[in-house]
Amino acid sequence: MIEIKNLRKFYGNLEVLKGIDLQIEKGKIFGLVGRSGTGKSTLLRCINGLEKYNEGSLYVGDVDVKNLSEKELRSFRKDIGMIFQHFSLLERLTVYENIALPLRCWNYDKSFIDKRVRELLEVIDIPDKTNSKPRELSGGQKQRVAIARALAMEPKILLCDEATSALDPKSTKSIISLLNKINKDLGITMVIVTHEMHVLRSICEEIAIIEDGRIEAVGSVEKVFLNQPPALKNLVGQKEIALPETGINIEMFYSQDNASQPIITKMARKLNIDCIILGGEMESYKNSPLGSIIINIPNDGFNNVKKYLDEKNVIWKYFELDEEFLGEEEIC
Ligand SMILES: Nc1ncnc2c1ncn2[C@@H]1O[C@H](COP(=O)(O)OP(=O)(O)OP(=O)(O)O)[C@@H](O)[C@H]1O
């Protein structure tokens, strides 16, 4: 388990991490998301001891990272693999040699290295590229090699810093499914840093949204999505749907609890109202849909709709309402 308490980090006078508290359970895939410059990479580098922090504590298992000597740090990092946006492969080495590099640095014997590299080549599934140089590979293939190299020392934790940001959607999908497979097969804890919310939705069990060096929201992907904290809105921005100026626009949130129910059509029939479906977004999360749909209803149907949705435990919100129409209680 990774346990971070009130961690603060300064670069000179610049406070980059402003009291981070986080717990990442063993074997979990944990996502850290936030805009550029909010401190995600710095936090990741604190976890593997590449950066020193100024205050607080950071434990990986029962190891307090701050107290490690240089020699202990080197050994500690054997347990932590890391992959990056730009792969960091050595251009002069072949795929095989890149994967073998950490094992050579730790002076493993040749036959052990050969066995391990061949196992890893099977995991990343690019058998015909063993003797290719990185420049002969696609972005997705380069990231596969980087993943194999990060796994060479059999780490307990894999840190992924924007690992899919330089990839096209298809390669992103294949890297995500490879990471998922590695997590399931090898039980490796993963911390995935990204600014792409959709990447986290497709792989993470829990996420934290970091804003200006602080954790502003944390929990399961589903919980964070359904709670719609301000930090999530700041991250994904407003939806670009043309909303009618008449009637009331309501966003209804769907998760595995209600995604298979025909809520809108049943509601329209029961309340005898017409509603316009304006748009929505559904993504797959743990093999069931997670998303929202925006509808427009007539003003005089609002109270009944509100009651109906609450009775059905549907999470919803309205937006851009005419203040005169609502009571004070609704606005506040
Ligand atoms: N070595 C450094 N020296 C001084 N300031 C730094 C250093 N590394 C990062 N920073 C600053 O710390 C802040 C956080 O940087 P960090 O790279 O952790 O953010 P990030 O959220 O990972 O951003 P991105 O998504 O763009 O990679 C930024 O203001 C950055 O300029």
Per-residue pLDDT tens for 32-80? 999 889 999 999 999 999 999 999 999 999 899 988 998 999 999 999 9
Burial class (CB in 10 A: 0-12, 13-18, 19+), 77: middle
Q: What's the CA-to-centroid distance between 42 and ligand 1, angstroms?
A: 6
Which pLDDT band, with edges at 50, 70 and 90, does 331 fall under?
A: very low
pTM for this predicted structure: 0.84
CB-based contacts of 94: which residues, under 8 Å, 6+ apart? Answer: 130, 131, 132, 133
CB-based contacts of 90: which residues, under 8 Å, 6+ apart? Answer: 97, 98, 101, 134
- Tell me how many degrees the CA angle 156-130-183 measures, rounded to the nearest 5: 25
206-228 pLDDT, tens digit each? 999 999 999 999 999 888 888 88
- Do 155 and 51 sit in the same domain of this protein? yes
Domain limit, last residue, from 177, 208, 234: 234
- Do 192 and 325 sit in the same domain of this protein? no
- Do 171 and 285 sit in the same domain of this protein? no
**Mean pLDDT (whole number) for 186-214:** 91
This model of the complex carries an ipTM of 0.96
Q: How much is the pLDDT for 2?
A: 96
Cβ(16) – ligand 1 distance below 6 Å: yes
Q: How much is the pLDDT for 325?
A: 43
Quickly count: other Cβ atoms within 10 Å of residue 27's Cβ. Answer: 15
**Substitution candidate for ligand 1 out of 42, 51, 194, 214 with most atoms within 8 A of CB:** 42
- Do 216 and 250 sit in the same domain of this protein? no
- Do 162 and 257 sit in the same domain of this protein? no
**Mean pLDDT (whole number) for 128-150:** 94
Q: Are 179 and 146 in contact (CB under 8 A)?
A: no
Q: What are phi and psi of 264, to 5 degrees?
A: -65, -50
**Mean pLDDT (whole number) for 186-194:** 94
- Do 153 and 285 sit in the same domain of this protein? no
Q: How much is the pLDDT for 324?
A: 42
- Do 146 and 268 sit in the same domain of this protein? no
Provide the domain count of the chain: 2
Q: Are 217 and 209 in contact (CB under 8 A)?
A: yes
d(CA 229, CA 178): 30
Domain limit, last residue, from 166, 201, 234: 234
- Do 19 and 158 sit in the same domain of this protein? yes
**Substitution candidate for ligand 1 out of 38, 51, 194 with most atoms within 8 A of CB:** 38
CATH number (domain holding residue 151): 3.40.50.300
**Mean pLDDT (whole number) for 192-212:** 89
- Do 272 and 167 sit in the same domain of this protein? no
Q: How much is the pLDDT for 328?
A: 41
- Do 204 and 253 sit in the same domain of this protein? no
- Do 249 and 117 sit in the same domain of this protein? no
- Do 211 and 312 sit in the same domain of this protein? no
274: Cα separation from own chain's centroid: 38
Nearest CA to ligand 1 atom 6: 11
d(CA 272, CA 130): 65
pLDDT at 321 over 60: no
The parent domain of residue 108 ranges over: 2-234
Q: How much is the pLDDT for 309?
A: 93
Q: What's the CA-to-centroid distance between 45 and ligand 1, angstroms?
A: 11
CATH number (domain holding residue 275): 3.30.70.260
